Structure 1
Amino acid sequence: MGFAAARTRSVGLWIATIPYAALVAAMLATADSERGSTADSVFVLTWVLSWLGGTLHTLAVRHRVFSSRSIPPSSLQHAVLETKRRRELRAHAAEIARTDPQLALELAIGRPDLPRTFDDGGIVDVNHAPASALATIPGIRPAHAELIVRMRQDLGGFTSAEEVAAMTDLPPHLTPVLKEHAVFLP
């Protein structure tokens, strides 16, 4: 019962563990008694009660202890799973942008400012999205986003994260972030 109580975190099962422990203690205390004595009868009675009671009780609680329901993930586990899911969505959206830019434009991939019916994982089209959307990229401050928009207008667009970093003097640590969170549609 102790295992069941620990696994289910049930106070009731912890309380039920006490009589089972008492039965086992009585059984162990009378284990070396003479055959036919009162102590021998106590041994047999405690053995039968702990065996039968424990078996029936275990059968009664087994669905709670060994349910097929998964334990709900912790908030950290949930955040990790969600981040990985969004990373996969960004990779898929980036692949569409690379292989079929026109489709990406029609789907508004990388344009969180436009109405869409799908989640692209938070990827941003550096060549078309407004500064407010660019500022959603981790590490890109509003001032960086405004500078990117001004340089984009002057240059007619960018082709890579490295070009954005070089032309706008972004801190070097933002280049890999930009690679993961941005696309450069024509």
Structure 2
Amino acid sequence: MNHPPRSTAGSFLWAFSPLVTFGFATPFTMGFVAAKRRSWGLGVAAAMYAAGMVAWLAIANSYEDPVPGIPAAVMVIGLFGSWIGGTLHSLLIRATVFETRPVRRTPNEQALEHARYRRQLRQEARELVKRDPKLAKELRVGRPDLPRQYDDGGLIDFNHAPARVIGTVPGMTPDLVDRVLSARRESGLFTSAEELSVTLDLPVDLNDELDEYSVYLP
């Protein structure tokens, strides 16, 4: 699984800043990424570009009509080095600096990311149940046995789901499922995992699973 590229538009804006500013922005753009990436190499490059631009400005202010020789060469190197060289340099390192290439994930990383995503869906569904239980019921939260489009992350409604669905919760044995259904018929609906656990005297090690996967719609 690859993550989509990030900061693509911003990275191109950064990379072409030296070109559109005739090299004057190069020391600043390189300095920015040097600080962003904490890179000594990019810091040295920023200092070199800055030195080149300072040399160019100093010679340009000293000579109204530069004659061929060292000053003119320094001016050319300073200007074009920071202008064209800075642009090419920025384009070469753009993808690395801004992580615009897709990031490859290992199978374990993909599994962890998926599990965290499912947990987030369950939390969002629980909040919906508290905020608007009628809407949650209409969306069939906790009812994977019914046709639906809303993804609740794997919640099970212990007040309405059938036995085969309740039995999919880790730790719920057939005997425990029968006890849940019997209590549901005799005592009515439950309001929380705590009430269910206390009423049925469920095993303590089942509490975490109930907290994670159960929901109780009216």
User: Which TM-score applies when normalising by structure 1?
Assistant: 0.61
Amino acid across the alignment from 2:155: I
Is 1:110 the counterpart of 2:142 in the alignment?
yes
C-alpha contact 2:156 2:166 (8 A) present in aligned 1: yes
**Relative contact order higher in (CA < 8 Å, ≥ 6 apart):** 2
The match for 2:11 is: none
Q: Distance in 2 between matches of 1:72 and 1:142?
A: 42
Which residue of 120, 134, 137 corresponds with 2:169?
A: 137
Tell me the SS of whatever aligns to 1:173. helix
Compute the RMSD of aligned alpha carbons.
2.1
Task: Give the gaps of 5 or more residues in structure 1.
Answer: 1-61
Tell me the SS of whatever aligns to 2:212. helix
Q: Show the 5 A alignment for 1:157-172.
A: 157-172=189-204
In the TM superposition, residue 176 of structure 1 has moved relative to its aligned partner by: 2.6
The match for 2:78 is: none
In the TM superposition, residue 72 of structure 1 has moved relative to its aligned partner by: 2.4
The match for 1:29 is: none
* CA 1:141–1:69: 2 relative to 1, 3 Å: farther
C-alpha contact 1:125 1:185 (8 A) present in aligned 2: yes
The match for 1:91 is: 123
Q: How many residues were matched structurally? A: 125
1:87-140, CA deviations, whole angstroms, 9 ceiling, x for partnerless residues?
010011111111111111111100011000121100111100011111222222
The match for 1:35 is: none
The match for 2:153 is: 121
Amino acid across the alignment from 1:72: R
Q: Distance in 2 between matches of 1:131 and 1:103?
A: 24
Identity among equivalent pairs (%): 42
Amino acid across the alignment from 2:193: A
1:15-73, CA deviations, whole angstroms, 9 ceiling, x for partnerless residues?
xxxxxxxxxxxxxxxxxxxxxxxxxxxxxxxxxxxxxxxxxxxxxxx89x968433421
C-alpha contact 1:132 1:142 (8 A) present in aligned 2: no
Amino acid across the alignment from 1:178: L
Amino acid across the alignment from 1:99: R
The match for 2:113 is: 81
Q: Distance in 1 between matches of 2:188 and 2:126?
A: 21
Q: Distance in 2 between matches of 1:79 and 1:141?
A: 26
